[in-house]
Every structure is written in C-alpha cells, then in structure tokens.
Amino acid sequence: MPKVFPEYREEAKNRIIKQSVKFFSEKGYYKTKMAEIAECLGVSKGAIYQYFKSKEELFLEVIKFYVEYTQKDLVAFLNSRPPKDISTDEFFDIMFNIEHSTSFENFKILDKLFPPLDFKLAMSELMTSNPLMKEEMTKYYKDSIKLMADYFENYKINGFIKKDIDSFSLSMGITSIQDGLMAAMQMGIEISEIRKSWKEITKMILKSTLVE
C-alpha cells in the first residue's frame, strides 16, 4: 500500500510539482526518475502516481507551474511603470529570469532557469507524440502572448503606443525573439552577447512603437 500524503490533494500535488522542478531543470526529462522525486519527499513512488498518472503528466504540470510563476513577475514588471520608462536591461532580466525570480526560490540560480537541452528536446518530442500535451502547451503559449498583448493594448488606450500597432503581433514578436535568444544561450552563446542583442532589438522595437 503506497504511503499517502497527509495534506489535502492540491497541497500534495504542489509539493510534488515544486520538488520536480529541481530534478527536471537540473537533470533533464529523461534522466529524472520518479523514484528520486519520491525519495526527496519521503514518500513511496506509488504515492506520486496517485496524483500524476505518468512522468509525462508530471512534466506538463511542471511546465505549467513555471509559466504561471514567471507570468507573475512579468505582470508585476509591466504594472510598475509606463513603457517609456522601461529599462531594456530590466526587461531582459524579467523575460529571461536572470538573477532571480520573486515568485519561486527554485528559479533563483541561472543554471536552474535554463535547463539542460535535454529538457527542451523532451518537451518538443513529447508535444509531437502526445496530442494532449501539445494542446496544453499551445494554450499556455498563446495565453502568455495574450497576457503581454493585453498590456500593450492598454498602453495604446493610454496613448503610450501608436494606435496602428497590432498588440498581439507585437507580443508574439517579442516572445519569438526571447525564444530564439534562449535557444542561442542553450547553444553556449555568452549571456553578455545575448543581453546586447536583446537591448539592440528592443530599442528598435520601442522606437518604432512608442508615441514620441
């Protein structure tokens, strides 16, 4: 009989997810073992399977968890000042989670923010083989883009951004640049070069979108 967590179901699930963040980010998807996660939590592997049917399902929940918590930092940043006062360095730190995340302590260390390439390859592979995962990840990706787009739309209403700018396209463009630069970082490009590229690109974007 597997050992069951004494907490309520949602609290137990959150404990498992938070512990799994560390393993998936440090070891990648394929090298992470459910038994290791269970051991760190002081429970049996069977107890984890009471909450997650498979490692795939747990991995998806970890991705959701990461997206939700990083979105909180982005929202706080966008609420903190008008776009004309946004520092490209600060924007970089928020979008790339450099130095720390105010939301969750496991994302404070840089090498935990950018997991092994295996992590991203696994996500791509699982999205190809698992229609449900693809559907869920597509939804979260679109939600992330829409979150920023809604702020841009509000900036337009308040006269900060030119009215002919399509907010969703602007948000998707910035997100795509972020994805590309993160991939470059995974390939070993120095953070200083990534930051420099981000600053130059965002300066051009801000210059063409902000009302002077």
Give the CATH number, domain containing residue 141. Answer: 1.10.357
Is residue 48, in this structure, part of any structural domain at all?
no
Q: Does the residue 31 lie in any domain?
A: no
- What is residue 100's predicted lDDT score, i.e. its pLDDT? 42
Domain count, the chain: 1
Task: Provide, rounded to the nearest whole percent, the portion of the chain with pLDDT above 90.
Answer: 20
**SS3 category, 164:** coil
Q: Is residue 107 part of a domain?
A: yes
Cα 59 from Cα 101, distance rounded (Å): 20
Note whether residue 197 is domain-resident: yes
- In the predicted model, what is the mean pLDDT of the chain? 79
User: What is the pLDDT at residue 8?
Assistant: 66
The answer to whether residue 155 sits within a structural domain is yes
In a domain, 40, yes or no: no
Is-contact 89 99, C-beta < 8 A? no
Instruction: Give the 3-state secondary structure of residue 131.
Output: helix
* pLDDT of 165 above 90: yes
Q: Residues 166-180: pLDDT tens digits?
A: 999 999 999 889 888
* pLDDT greater at residue 137 or residue 4: 137
72's tokens: 């909180």
Whole-Å CA distances, 10 to 14, 45, 69, 145: 6, 18, 17, 27
In a domain, 24, yes or no: no
Range of the domain at 168: 55-209
Q: What are the tens digits of pLDDT across the range 28-37?
A: 788 889 999 9
